Chains A and B, each alone.
Chain A
Amino acid sequence: MEHLTAENFDQNARAALGDAQLRGALRNLADTFGERRKAAIATVENWQDLRDRARAVKDETLLHLDKYLTQFADNAEKAGARIHWARDGREACQIVLGLLKEREAAKIVKSKSMAAEEIHLNAALEAEGIYPIETDLGEWIIQLAEETPSHIVVPAIHKTKGQIADLFAEKVGIEKTDDVDVLTKTARAELRARFAEAEVGISGVNFGVAETGTILILENEGNIRLTTSLPKTHIALMGIEKVVPKFTDLDVFLKLLPRSGTGQRLTTYQSLITGTKRRETDEGPAEVHIILMDNGRSRMLAHPTTRQSLACIRCGACLNACPVYQQIGGHAYGSVYPGPIGAVITPQLVGIGKTSQLPYASSLCGACREVCPVKIDIPELLLHLRAEVAERATEPVKRKFGEKLAFRLYSLAWSRSSVYKLGTKISRLMQKFVARDEKIGEQKGFLSKLVPPLGAWTAWRDAPTVAPKSFREIWKDDLEKSEKLKTEN
């Protein structure tokens, strides 16, 4: 399947809006996840305090990230893990490849990891003839479909039951059925066999504890537990922002993350992994490798406004709450991280040149900020990035130039009341050609092209006309006098 790019966000979004199956799959997203989340956060009394506490932990960590990372690395190694440092995605992929080749490992199971998606780990491994098996049900579905995740937490949310039935019939070879129970049992049987033979398990990390060197991974299917405990070798890929100072800090995040992400009080499994197994007779992997990956994160850390992007715990609540995401789904963003947080993170990770549409893919309604468990001010970040886009001369140059000119003129003219008033008069004259019954209907042909914003508006919405008498005119002719009369009386 051809993968969409952020550069074509506008076209992708239009295509998504015309995709009836996709919109059907997304229809209940807001209601289902929104309601579940609300019910789950109602089970704790001090939700706002928890958010503040979590953010405070993140802020403290990010302010002294160097200290906490070294502490984490030291303690993880003391517990038997090996730490690897990766400056970028390419280095991280090379480290994984090196580890697999050294062990001549061919049978790899993998659990869901956004960090691995971010660096396109599977593609890097496949290029070398190594085919890791995704073991999260949603990830397995999209791996079979040769697609990418469209949501941070629910990767196959864009697929309908019918589409999955067709996929399983074609790729797994079962008789076509949309009985969810049969489909799940099929996946389970297929994946169990893979776990049994796997030599290496690759996972992501939700939190890494500096004072103990422990990693915590949350999940519901048990596949992460198997991925990180059955194979002899476990490789964990961890963004450098995932570290927290103390073990007790996990408490607040264990309350926030499941409630925000899936509307659960707690996920079914929480795997706490501290190094390797201690004795030969213990269960668990003999080797644990943790790859600490930067890949653009230290750039975000450097700026006081963008730093908060690193507080994200990848719960996906902002996607579910976003009116734009609800309409177009995740693929249209053309980036690994979709939705509001994706529109913020992606331009910072891969550069704003080809992703300059993403910060504009929002009505700035603030629903994302309202649900964010760590209080990231996503609208503030979107505005910050928009300012960066506006200041740069990026493609498409022509449009940018026109827009820049328009805003320059607007600020020059409208900040003077004389020119502002003249503008009103000109608008009143101009609209005589297009207005009917005090409104402007759909404009076709040259007129819609002449004034581009007007055409984009009136294709779907009637536009109001400039009033025959502006408020300032009414004030002068009438209201000001009546105020004086009133005061004199």
Chain B
Amino acid sequence: MKVSLFITCLVDQLCPQVGVAAVEVLRRAGCEVVFDERQTCCGQPAFNTGYRSEARKFAERFIEIFEESDADYIVSPSGSCTAMARHFYELFEDDEKWRARAEKIAAKTFEFTGFLVNVLKIEDAGARFNGRLTWHDACHALRDLNLKPEPRALLKNVRDAEFVEMKNSDVCCGFGGTFSVKYPEISVAILDNKIEAIKETNADAVVACDASCLMQIGGRLSRLGVKTKPLHIAEILANQE
């Protein structure tokens, strides 16, 4: 099975180790992994701020690049960017041809944990983590892609790890893209509830499937000097030591 990675700009720039880990897990699962260097961003920041014609440029580019690939699936280590790809069609309300192309691409685009569990039927990735883990539900993965049991199943099968649910794991971390800098005080007030819930679990790592939530949560954990590490689920699943 051939998988084309959509790595996302955040992972590419800020946490490439997440991408490396995702490649490792997918290869271990028997996938042939390819990466098209021409890719950049899904355009979500523009779409979510109301700049639709700008967002459309990103969508067209994404579609053109991934249409050329003979890969069976497009997999991304982000619920949010996957959800954006699934929403591309909304940008082509007045253009049936583009809309059809967008829908075709959307149908083969999957978020990393959803792909592992629902397509590859893998719930045990053969990983090991010595410590306590808790899971934060990223909003788009949870509510747009309906991924709730999938990441939990994967984490519960990690050897030597103890999984604990935090309170309100399904409540937003307050990131919201440009919301986090348009209304930073509200964003951080929401975030602080999340931080409290994480602290209550006493977990060694808070795990999520989106670099954006992890940047928000991690940025505050770091500022407050909390020891819990923000980790992407690909990093947990890649680890076998």
Residues of A within 8 A of B (CB): 10, 13-14, 17, 323-324, 326-328, 359-367, 369-370, 383, 385-391, 403-404, 407-408, 410-411, 414-417, 420, 424, 427, 439, 441-442, 452-453, 456-457, 459-467, 469-476, 479-480, 483, 486-487
Contact = CB atoms under 8 A, between A and B. Distances in A.
Nearest to B138: A365
The dominant DSSP class at the A interface is helix
Given A364-B176, A408-B54, A472-B37, 15 more contacts: A13-B185, A360-B182, A363-B187, A364-B177, A365-B171, A386-B49, A387-B52, A388-B50, A408-B51, A417-B39, A420-B9, A441-B223, A461-B188, A471-B20, A483-B32
Contacts of A483: 27, 32-34
Contacts of B180: 363, 456-457
B123 interface: no
A327 B189 contact: yes
8 contacts: A13-B183, A326-B190, A327-B190, A366-B142, A411-B43, A465-B14, A471-B11, A472-B35
B179 A362 contact: yes
A386 B50 contact: yes
Given A367-B171, A479-B35, A467 B16 contact: yes
A363 B37 CA distance: 31
A461 B219 contact: yes
Nearest to A464: B14
Nearest to A470: B12
B25 to A, nearest CB: 13
A480 B20 CA distance: 11
B40 A439 contact: no
A335 to B, nearest CB: 16
B38 interface: yes
B interface, how many residues as a size bin? 35 or more
- The 3 A-B residue pairs whose C-beta atoms are closest, nearest first, are A363-B176, A461-B219, A390-B50
B177 A462 contact: no
Interface string B191-223: 101000000000000000000000110111011
A486 B28 CA distance: 11
Contact of B51 (A407, A467, A470, A471): A407
Contacts of B187: 363
Contacts of B223: 441-442, 460-462
Contact of B186 (A17, A369, A465): A17
Given A366-B144, A464-B15, A475 B171 contact: no
Contacts of B181: 452-453, 456-457
A248 B20 CA distance: 59
B58 interface: yes
Contacts of A424: 13
A411 B191 CA distance: 29
Given A363-B176, A389-B50, A411 B219 contact: no
Nearest to A437: B222
B216 A10 contact: no
A459 B45 contact: no
A367 B172 contact: yes
B174 interface: yes
B227 interface: no
Q: Max chain A CB contacts within 10 Å: which of B40, B41, B180?
A: B40
A397 B19 CA distance: 40
A442 B222 CA distance: 12
B32 to A, nearest CB: 7
B79 to A, nearest CB: 11
Contacts of B171: 323, 365, 367
Q: Max chain B CB contacts within 10 Å: which of A326, A370, A389, A411?
A: A411
A367 B193 CA distance: 16
B149 interface: no
A363 B12 contact: no
Q: Max chain B CB contacts within 10 Å: which of A13, A364, A480?
A: A364
Contact of B219 (A10, A14, A464, A469): A464
A359 B50 CA distance: 10
Nearest to B175: A363
Contacts of A391: 50
B32 A411 contact: no
Interface in B18-63: 19-20, 23, 27, 32-35, 37-41, 43, 45-52, 54-55, 57-58, 61
Given A407-B54, A475-B37, A360 B19 contact: no
Interface in B156-186: 171-172, 174-186
Contacts of B50: 359, 383, 385-391
Q: Max chain B CB contacts within 10 Å: which of A326, A363, A370, A473?
A: A363
B104 interface: no
A324 B55 CA distance: 26
B35 A417 contact: no
Contact of A323 (B41, B48, B172, B216): B172
